[in-house]
């Protein structure tokens, strides 16, 4: 949805005027950012969603069902792990919040499961969602299968190419995957098509927004459903490290995993919050997804006012990242406000550095991180921070979905040596014939049996 096509503006709360304004139990604005810039036909659905969530958020039966599924089905709490070899390399403690160990392999299931439960409470038999990296699509398809909901996932054809294993998972789960051919054929276009579907089907359909962006109340709902990441991590690090971290670091596309872990530490002024965005080919190239770090102007994208990559005429530009989940030209409104208020800092990491961190973490810790998380991991491993003794990093997902893309990129930047180990190839030569075997390879030949 482009900036000029919006049909409603909420009153703006400008910078410097205190905390975000609460309305009907949910924040619609964070400073000047957020709001509801949508067709009039969607306003009743947003009002209903806001009212239902305001009630369910404190409803004991709903919370009991949701928390029970998070525990018994998703596998929460996710572990907090002291990555000793990463810590040794960085010269400080690096603790990983292991969202990659959740059912479906990422943090996305927290939000998808919660929103599908909300859809059931609203009597909506059909859910739709957008996906870039495929993890939100898989999570929504999983929750829909569990709760017997019809599910359609919109996905750009470029992301389908990059994330085929997740496409196959969604189809196996009984979901319809709708390819999107327009524009850059990535996440922005998938969100646009999902909004168009919702306009036409709002009577029986809930849109499971995957990130902490979009029209209010989605940013607040997604944050509330994802804040379990930070609530757990805060309790865990106090128990395991005996102190709070100096920094909390997370990757930021739309920003759901980051706002989920940041929220628990917002009132701890000695804990720095660092969001790591997609630097792509470099800020100067214009081919990136670092919306906050690059300082772009604000505009309207997908129903929300905030920083957005756009040209002089207000037309939305294409973002770029090697990571499909960070390939988005906007960002959640609360992140924009955290930047403006100085509470959080946002920095870019380029494609090549992220894929090298992908390989580095795999070899140091035996953990294959998502390419999204690899941006944050590069920052903590390779950007000096002598004042930091303890880092807490949100490992938002696992990287099996990214293997083909990451290995191809590593070969592109490092050539045939990309997977060598200390200069030696990582696939050993094929074994030759066994001199102790007979001609048929069945056993010893005139000698002692080899055991």
Contact assessment for residue 123 and residue 49, using Cβ atoms and an 8 Å cutoff: no
Cβ count near 184 (within 10 Å): 18
Of these residues, 87, 321, 396, 409, which one is catalytic? Answer: 396
What are the backbone angles phi and psi of residue 324, rounded to the nearest 5°? -65, -30
Count of alpha carbons within 13 angstroms of residue 248, beta-carbon side? 31
Residue 96 contacts residue 83 (beta carbons within 8 Å): yes
For strands 205-207 and 33-34, give the pairing. Answer: unpaired
Our answer to whether residue 396 is catalytic in this structure is yes
| Backbone torsions φ then ψ of 131, nearest 5 degrees | -155, 150
Parallel, antiparallel, or unpaired: how do β-strands 344-350 and 272-280 relate? Answer: parallel
Specify whether 420 is catalytic: no
> Is the Cβ–Cβ distance between 130 and 101 less than 8 Å?
no
The question of whether 130 is a catalytic residue gets the answer yes
Sheet of 93-98, strands arranged across: 80-82, 93-98, 390-395, 247-251, 272-280, 344-350
Of the residues 6, 50, 130, 277, which is catalytic? 130
**How far is it, in rounded angstroms, from Cα 192 to Cα 404?**
27
Residue linked to tokens 């075997």: 437
Which residue in the list 27, 87, 97, 108 is annotated as catalytic?
A: 108
The answer to whether 175 touches 144, Cβ cutoff 8 Å, is yes
Q: Which residues touch 43 (CB under 8 Å, ≥6 apart)?
A: 8, 36
- Which residues have a catalytic role annotated? 108, 130, 396
């Amino acid at each position: 949805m482009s900036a000029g096509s919006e049909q409603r503006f909420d009153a703006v709360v400008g910078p410097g005027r205190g905390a975000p304004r609460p309305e009907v139990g949910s924040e619609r604005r964070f400073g000047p950012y957020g709001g509801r810039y949508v067709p009039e036909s969607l306003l009743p659905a947003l009002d209903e969603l806001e009212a239902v969530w305001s009630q369910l958020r404190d409803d004991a039966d709903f919370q009991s069902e949701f928390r029970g599924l998070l525990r018994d089905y998703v596998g929460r709490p996710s572990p907090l792990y002291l990555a000793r070899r990463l810590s040794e390399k960085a010269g400080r403690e690096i603790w990983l919040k292991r969202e990659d160990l959740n059912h479906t392999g990422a943090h996305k299931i927290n939000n998808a499961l919660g929103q599908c439960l909300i859809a059931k409470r609203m009597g909506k038999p059909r859910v739709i969602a957008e996906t870039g990296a495929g993890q939100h699509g898989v999570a929504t398809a999983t929750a829909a299968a569990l709760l017997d909901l019809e599910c359609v996932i919109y996905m750009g054809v470029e992301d389908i190419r990059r994330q085929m294993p997740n496409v196959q998972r969604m189809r196996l789960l009984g979901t319809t995957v709708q390819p999107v051919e327009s524009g850059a054929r990535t996440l922005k276009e998938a969100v646009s098509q999902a909004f168009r579907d919702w306009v036409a089907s709002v009577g029986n359909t809930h849109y499971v927004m995957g990130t902490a962006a979009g029209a209010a109340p989605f940013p607040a709902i997604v944050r509330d459903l994802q804040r379990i990441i930070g609530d757990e991590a805060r309790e865990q690090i106090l128990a395991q490290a005996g102190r709070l971290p100096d920094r909390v670091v997370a990757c930021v596309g739309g920003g759901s995993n980051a706002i989920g872990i940041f929220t628990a530490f917002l009132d701890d002024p000695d804990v720095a919050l660092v969001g790591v965005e997609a630097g792509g080919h470099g800020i100067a190239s214009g081919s990136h997804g670092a919306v906050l770090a690059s300082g772009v102007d604000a505009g309207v994208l997908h129903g929300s006012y905030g920083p957005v990559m756009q040209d002089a005429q207000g037309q939305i530009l294409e973002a770029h990242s090697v990571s499909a989940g960070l390939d988005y030209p906007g960002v959640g409104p609360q992140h924009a406000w955290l930047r403006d208020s100085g509470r959080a800092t946002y920095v870019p990491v380029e494609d090549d550095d992220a894929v090298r961190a992908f390989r580095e973490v795999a070899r140091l810790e035996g953990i294959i991180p998502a390419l999204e998380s690899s941006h944050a991991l590069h920052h903590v491993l390779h950007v000096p921070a002598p004042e930091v003794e303890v880092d807490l990093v949100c490992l938002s997902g696992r990287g099996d979905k990214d293997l083909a893309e990451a290995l191809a990129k590593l070969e592109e930047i490092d050539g045939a040596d990309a997977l060598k180990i200390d200069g030696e190839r990582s696939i050993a030569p094929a074994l030759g014939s066994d001199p102790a075997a007979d001609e048929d390879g069945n056993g010893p030949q005139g000698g002692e049996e080899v055991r």
